[in-house]
Structure 1
Amino acid sequence: MALTIPTHFKFKPLNLQHQKSQTHLEFIRVRSTRNYSIGSYFSTHHRIVLTRVCSDGGRETRVGPQQPMPYDLESSRSGSSNPADGDVAFFVRMLGLDNDPLEREKAVIALWKYSQRGEQYVDAIIQFHESINLTVNLLQSDSSSACEAALGLLRMISSVNVYREFVAESGAIEVIIALLSRSFLTSGVKEQSLYTLWNLSIDEKLQEKIANPVLLPLLINFLEDGNKKVKECAGGFLATLARSRFNHKVMVEAGVIPKMAKLLKTDVERSNVSANFLNIDVDRLKVIRKEARNTLLELAKDECYRILVMEEGLLLVPLVGTTAYKSFRPPLDSRPSWPDGTLIEWTPKVQSKYGASEVLLGLRCRDNDANMEEAKINAMAAQSRQRFLARAGCIEMENGENSQGESSSDLQFTILPLLDGVARLVLILGLEDESAIARAAESIAGASISNHMRVSFKEAGAVKHLVRLLGHRSDAVRLAVIHALERLSVSNDVCRIIEVEGVLHPLIDALKNSEGSDSLMEKTLNILARILDPSNEMKSKEATRKTGSFGNMDEILISKSTSSLDSAAVGLLVGILKTSSPDLQRKAASILEFATDSDQSIDKIISADIECGLDAVFQQKVLQDTELERDQQTELLALKVEEAGLAISAASRLLTRLLDFESFRSTTNPARFEELLRKILRSSIPLDNKDWVAACLVKLSSFSSPGLYFENPMNIEATLHETIPRLIEQIKSSSPEAQEVAVLELNEIISEGVVDCTRAVAAEGGIFPLVKLIEDGTSTAVGAGLAILYNLSMITENHPTIVAAGAFPALERIVQSERPESMRAIHLLRALPT
């Protein structure tokens, strides 16, 4: 192996007499006046001039190879002294593979101590180009002391920017990762290994080699190491790796998020038990938690990974600055209530300036009321903590400093445990800063990824703040608030609370003012459509029927909902039917369908030219241009056709409801709609959508002369007198397979929309077996049976028979089971008399 010192230099033993005369040797490197790079310098011979400094002040100079004075290696190992500058060459030579392992260990310890004196001393070591390779070779030693010292020296070398590449080229990364994979390592070896790799990871070109599936699981395990420095280093190392997006995927797959979330959720401020359990002091744990937060913040920049972070019980909260909280003025003398606004019949004797009375209230409820919901108690405790921080002026403060500077993103965030994060966001909604309010509302929208999260915001009182902010003067605030309400309304429970808070009037106003913003209009329609969802109505009907007051709930729902649809709102919805996209048309039609329960709203709908609106929906452009768009991608065209089918089915249900009113029938042209619907039945929209169209066509045909549109009387006669009776008998059979085949064929016949076929099914006694089929049949048979019964319900003469056959209990069971057929069952329930 090539030595650092050129081979033509042979050091000779020193004369002991010179040592006795109190002399010492200095190595003076005589450099050429020419500048050399590090690489060229290693390949260039340099003269070493041995200078003897005598006691009499004279200087004797010899040019040529000489042996340096021996150095006390034991003193180096104990740390009592460091090698002199001129001894570096000797200790590098002692790292050679031909030396005794103990001497190599002592030499690397001495060099490690020497390197700790500063960067210029690292420069002195790196001048010997084999020093890095020889040090890396020592990592294979069985001695923990030698490994730790070698890693410590590599750590010092890698701390200098220009030397990181040399360390990487020596194969140190692979060797260190292999070393960390050993079953037993001392804390010192772990610490120095991690710090060395951490230094190297600063260079983004080396991160791909470092952040691999072998190292990352080891780093995650080190987060639970017994040594606090190892934990801290592992956390900081992961935070550095997380700053590069190309590391995110491999980090998440290695399980970084659950481990970091566990550290971040450790309650340092309120209890030391967790810190003691983790065998780490509180101050160190705070540092580790800070690194964990930084790591998760970087990962949360990706939307998918942000969801994974929130699933671990954490929440991203915007940092709005301590100044924004100065406007926070909670009512101190108001009656105590839960965060969602529910009043509590208890008043403390003394009101606390900082909210201690609320904390005591929560404790009292926890102790004395075992029936109190845990979610309400937790929300109260979290609200009290956040209000206390705001009143004390220390919110968003950590160790006396503003924590806003910790985040690396432009719009800065922090991460809090779920309860505290929810309470903090609700607190921000009550501030005056428009930017802070908008950011908090957007954060609520982004966090509403599950029913648990939505209910948590409801319990914390977010709904009443959001409804209040619908009237805010800022367009940005209103858009963010509607976005938050739209995401929260996905939950049926939260949706009912949103309606109770009086959201309909502000939403209608927002809808009127949203003509310039498609996004605002879409989100507003989503909320209205969910509030006026027939499934919510049927659940209310079910609850009312169980209490024995069935029939009153309809009046309550109508008075709360449709009374808010004034003429301007109805005109806007009809305008959406005429001009908007199929998705918006579907939502507008659903809202208007619910409004048809009120006689007062019918006049508004008719006066708004609803006939033209329905005509526009039934003439979807994508159905007319299908032949011309065959060159488009099949998937894109299919998606457009499906959206058109959904809009048409919603409009068909609306038309079906309108046909129950004489005022509408007297002002419309049924023949025009029959022609459009028959054309739609021959189109390529999905069969499920055609069922609604056929039912509407049956309703229209019932007001016309029977057999008006028969094209082939012979085929119709065969269908009426042979096919339909045969299929009904087959449905009565006990074979599920035969029943399914028969009901599917019968549904295909009924879906043609011929009213005589529908009447024939009822005349042949098909209602009773169909009701029995939806109770016991297969899923496919139940769907087809519901479609046929819905067609039958379009003829009012069939209603008593359907009810007598026991349809209500069967339909309620389908709705409660939340099967795919539940929505069709809900519409059938709405079509039947209450």
Structure 2
Amino acid sequence: MLALSSLILPLPLPLPPLPPSKPFFLTPPHSPHLRLRRPPDVPLLRRRRRLLAGATADDGGGAGSSPQDIEQLSRTVTSGEAYIGLFVRMLGLDNDPLDREHAIITLWQYSQGGRKCIDDIMQFPGCINLVTSLLKSESCSTCEAAAGLLRNVTSVKLYRDAVAESGAIEEISSLLCQSSIAPEVKEQGLFALWNLSVDEKLRPKIVESDLLPKLVRFLDDEEIKVKEAAGGILANLALSHANHGIMVEVGVIPKLADLLKGKQEGYKVIRKEAKTALLELCKDEYYRILIIEEGLVRVPVVGSAAYKAFKPSTHSWPSLPDGTEIQRNSRPSRYGASELLVGLNIEEKNLKLEEAKMNAIVGRSQQQFLVRIGAIEMEDGEKIQNESPQKEQYTLLPWIDGVARLVLILGLEDTSAIIRAAYSVADASVNEHMRNSFKEAGAVRQLVQLLHHDRLTVREAVAHALDKLSISNIVCRTIEAEGALEPLINILKDPSTPVALLEKTIDILSRIFDTGNGLKRMFDDKVVNGTEGKVNSANSSDDAGGFLQTLLKQEPMTRMEIIGFGIISRLIDLLRKASPSVQTKVASFLEYLANFEPHTTSMTAAGIESGLDAVFQKGVLNVEEDDTENQPEPTIVEIEEIGLATSAAARLLTKLLNFDQFNRTIDPAKYVIQLRKILKSDIPLRTKDWVAACLVKLESKFGSALNNVNFTVDKEVIIYETIPRLIEQIRTSFSYESKRAAVLELKRIISGGSMEFAKAVANAGGIFHLVKLIEEGKGDVIESSLAILYNLSMDAENHPAIISAGAVPVLKRIILSEGPQWTRALHLLRTLPI
């Protein structure tokens, strides 16, 4: 080990002046405050004299130095940086633990003097290694002083790498993970890690130290400083996107959300750090949903200038979201205080309001009150400032205030603020509670009005918000009631509308026109509005049928003027030219319109055949034809999208086949050939069901006209859709009854005697699953599986697959047991080459 005495520099004379007796205690560089702390009260005088006696002997003072000389030297050593080397030397492992404790405490005290004092300590190579080694000490004072010195040293950016290389992160983490640790040591260690976590390249070391679960528990610590340090570390770790996953796994979101929503005094710093961490996690869509589930909403900071255009009435009185005013019994406050007390007013009048309406009123009045007094976008008395005009800054608010703030911003004149608020509304609409909260707060009416905005970017943001809100049946009905159909249709008519806006528009219209949603609304109304305590099971089917018939008869009459020939032509044009994802939505919307004969007539006149042909041509994947050899092979995502588009188009064609005017204009053989190719293609199996159904309906409608087609539709459907679907059902189903039904149906098909059916079972990988069913099943399941395998064994090419699937030992066990199926098992075993 290198002698530390070689690190000690010659003592310059005269000695420098004394540092302050109560210096500032350094805090992390990002912390906005400083704290005064008196050095620990320890009996130093006796130790200093004993240490200095040895020091003066080394310096030529000799053992016989007088007590007056020692006393004088004691006063000077504690005050001058010239003696720093002496105390660094006393940190050596060969010194007495009491001497090392005295030395580290003295250096800690000295480091509190500021940057110059820290530089004096760090001029000695190896000093930090000795300090880090003291973190293992059994003395609480020694550990506190060592961690405190590291805290002060790491407040200087220049020295953080040296501290990290000394192994301080690992030692502090190990110290903090101890079951019993003094609060003082815990505080100093956490603040040291807080300083180190500022450096991005050091954050992985902190995460890898398994300290994260402990940091989350420290958020519940009784000491406010421990909370602040733990929150600060987590906030810095959240700045690195790679840490987000493990932070969420250890449960950091609920803890930080509780701290942010708390109103305790003295929690200003921890709330700030919690907000910093959560805002970073909000950048991930999934984690943003988790934060919203905890009752927080991300709201854009738009600047005080944007609110100058907001001019609430001088004297206002609270009203319900539908515009109904509450009966007033006193003069309203000019600052909106009467709205803040609306709850008391309502209780006095014995009005029964839903909690969502009450929250909407209170949240709106609070935000308008803040605007009136000029305190909007202020936290703890300080305005939130953007670092630059181009930077998009956000804050987090409790959901009641957050919903009201977003609705308030939607009513401003600043277009950039409106756009950001609309996207935030979409992000926050993650569940029925939030969507209903926005409805009650009046967001739907403002968003529908903004659909008429002259700026395209505003319309895109608003459509995105309405798309998320319309997932709720109740909110979707409100969107229609607010008059959204007309602007949405205008957007759809405009040939210059971007594809992204078209998708959102079609989504909203599909939900508004969806008869399934309309049927669901009826049951929601009966339960929610209280017209019936519950739906009568005896009459529910009649009510549902009557409602659906009324819906089918009345809605087309009221919407006929909106959905005209021009809209249908536009939709068919999109069906021909758009991407598969848009084609899926357009085909689904047209499928709904095909319920009504006038719309079907318009589709036929507008050339719906060309749109269907465009979709079906994309659905022919990996079919052996000359014209597909030079085409690039589609990706998995593209195959999925093409399959969904093909399925939607097949549903549309199936619906159109119900109308004679459409049937008279088409060539059925062309569609049969196209759908047969799609059935044999590589699109996902679950998207082939409607293709098969459409083929069957084409054959039933045009059987005589398909004589020139050189294949049987039923046979093609069984080979390429039914058999693969049944095998998939046997493979993936968790229900024994479901597997039983599939294998019985498969036996019925194979019993037809067609070798092509047996070959289709083998090609679909059914042999392995049938053997497994024999091993696990009973009764008719075993018998059906044995019958299918016996048919497959007639083809010698299937023998290796049957043997490799483990059929031989299973068959032997059935034969030896002499059960009901032993003879069938014996026949199958005799066909195998064993």
Name the residue aligned to 2:274: 292
Which amino acid in the other structure matches residue 451 of structure 1? E
Which amino acid in the other structure matches residue 583 of structure 1? S
Name the residue aligned to 2:173: 177
Cα deviation, residue 480, structure 1: 0.7
Cα deviation, residue 507, structure 1: 0.8
Cα deviation, residue 623, structure 1: 4.4
Cα deviation, residue 386, structure 1: 1.5
Change (3 A) 1:675 1:209: closer
Name the residue aligned to 2:182: 186
Matched, 1:526 2:538: no
Change (3 A) 1:537 1:656: farther
Conserved 8 A contact 1:442-1:480: yes
Name the residue aligned to 1:123: 119
- 1:310-351 Cα distance to aligned partner (Å, 9 max, x none): 232222111100111122234677885334x36355345323
Which amino acid in the other structure matches residue 337 of structure 1? S
Cα deviation, residue 703, structure 1: 5.5
Cα deviation, residue 226, structure 1: 1.6
Q: In 2, Cα distance between the equivalents of 1:157 and 1:716?
A: 81
Task: Report the secondary structure of 2:297's partner residue.
Answer: strand
Name the residue aligned to 1:346: 327
Name the residue aligned to 1:301: 283
- 1:519-556 Cα distance to aligned partner (Å, 9 max, x none): 11122112222222242244357779538964433333
Conserved 8 A contact 1:105-1:145: yes
Q: In 1, Cα distance between the equivalents of 2:559 and 2:99?
A: 89
The percentage of counterpart residues that share the same residue type is 49
1:285-434 aligned within 5 A: 285-330=267-312, 336-339=318-321, 341=322, 343=324, 346-365=327-346, 372-405=353-386, 410-434=391-415
Change (3 A) 1:370 1:142: farther
Which amino acid in the other structure matches residue 115 of structure 1? S
Name the residue aligned to 2:482: 501
Change (3 A) 1:677 1:90: closer
Task: Report the secondary structure of 1:519's partner residue.
Answer: helix
Cα deviation, residue 574, structure 1: 1.4
Q: In 2, Cα distance between the equivalents of 1:292 and 1:716?
A: 64
Q: In 1, Cα distance between the equivalents of 2:749 and 2:453?
A: 52
- 1:556-590 Cα distance to aligned partner (Å, 9 max, x none): 33244444112221110111222223332232222
Name the residue aligned to 1:252: 248
Q: In 2, Cα distance between the equivalents of 1:715 and 1:193?
A: 76
Conserved 8 A contact 2:336-2:365: yes
Name the residue aligned to 2:576: 578
After superposing the two structures, state which structure 1 stretch, 645-654 or 192-201, moved more: 645-654
Cα deviation, residue 414, structure 1: 0.9
Conserved 8 A contact 2:332-2:338: yes
Conserved 8 A contact 1:512-1:572: yes
Conserved 8 A contact 1:336-1:345: yes
Name the residue aligned to 1:204: 200
Q: In 2, Cα distance between the equivalents of 1:214 and 1:70?
A: 49
Change (3 A) 1:432 1:90: same
Name the residue aligned to 2:830: none
Matched, 1:263 2:263: no
Q: In 2, Cα distance between the equivalents of 1:607 and 1:205?
A: 66
Name the residue aligned to 2:420: 439
Name the residue aligned to 1:4: 4
Task: Report the secondary structure of 1:577's partner residue.
Answer: helix
Name the residue aligned to 1:448: 429
Change (3 A) 1:607 1:190: same
Q: In 2, Cα distance between the equivalents of 1:383 and 1:599?
A: 47
Cα deviation, residue 198, structure 1: 2.4
Cα deviation, residue 426, structure 1: 1.4
Cα deviation, residue 434, structure 1: 0.2
Name the residue aligned to 1:161: 157
Change (3 A) 1:476 1:625: farther
Decide which of 561, 564, 567 is 2:565's aligned counterpart. 567
Q: In 2, Cα distance between the equivalents of 1:173 and 1:357?
A: 55
Conserved 8 A contact 2:699-2:713: no
Conserved 8 A contact 1:540-1:553: no
Matched, 1:591 2:573: no
Conserved 8 A contact 2:491-2:497: no
Name the residue aligned to 2:213: 217
Change (3 A) 1:139 1:478: same
**TM value normalised by structure 1:** 0.71
Name the residue aligned to 2:729: none
Change (3 A) 1:539 1:143: closer
Cα deviation, residue 624, structure 1: 8.1
Matched, 1:475 2:456: yes
- 1:604-663 Cα distance to aligned partner (Å, 9 max, x none): 3333223333343344364486656689998x4665455444334433443444444454
Task: Report the secondary structure of 2:341's partner residue.
Answer: helix
Task: Report the secondary structure of 1:317's partner residue.
Answer: strand
1:690-729 aligned within 5 A: 690-693=688-691, 695-696=693-694, 704=702, 709=707
Cα deviation, residue 506, structure 1: 1.0
Task: Report the secondary structure of 1:594's partner residue.
Answer: helix
Change (3 A) 1:694 1:173: closer
Change (3 A) 1:141 1:556: same
Name the residue aligned to 2:774: none
Which amino acid in the other structure matches residue 315 of structure 1? V
Q: In 2, Cα distance between the equivalents of 1:365 and 1:347?
A: 10
Name the residue aligned to 1:459: 440
- Stretches of structure 1 that go unaligned for 5 or more consecutive residues are 12-23, 29-62, 269-274, 276-281, 720-734, 751-834
Q: In 2, Cα distance between the equivalents of 1:678 and 1:134?
A: 79
RMSD of the TM alignment (CA)? 4.1
Change (3 A) 1:124 1:677: closer
Conserved 8 A contact 1:314-1:421: yes
Which amino acid in the other structure matches residue 299 of structure 2? V
Task: Report the secondary structure of 1:211's partner residue.
Answer: helix
Which amino acid in the other structure matches residue 322 of structure 1? S
Name the residue aligned to 2:784: none
Q: In 2, Cα distance between the equivalents of 1:381 and 1:633?
A: 58
Q: In 1, Cα distance between the equivalents of 2:742 and 2:200?
A: 63
Conserved 8 A contact 2:315-2:336: no
Conserved 8 A contact 2:91-2:100: yes
Q: In 1, Cα distance between the equivalents of 2:205 and 2:606?
A: 68
Conserved 8 A contact 1:155-1:192: yes
Q: What is the aligned length?
A: 668
Which amino acid in the other structure matches residue 550 of structure 2? N
Cα deviation, residue 440, structure 1: 0.8
Change (3 A) 1:89 1:531: same
1:515-554 aligned within 5 A: 515-539=496-520, 545-546=542-543, 550=547, 551-554=549-552
Cα deviation, residue 422, structure 1: 1.7
Task: Report the secondary structure of 1:564's partner residue.
Answer: coil
Cα deviation, residue 707, structure 1: 8.2
Q: In 2, Cα distance between the equivalents of 1:458 and 1:749?
A: 59
Task: Report the secondary structure of 1:404's partner residue.
Answer: coil
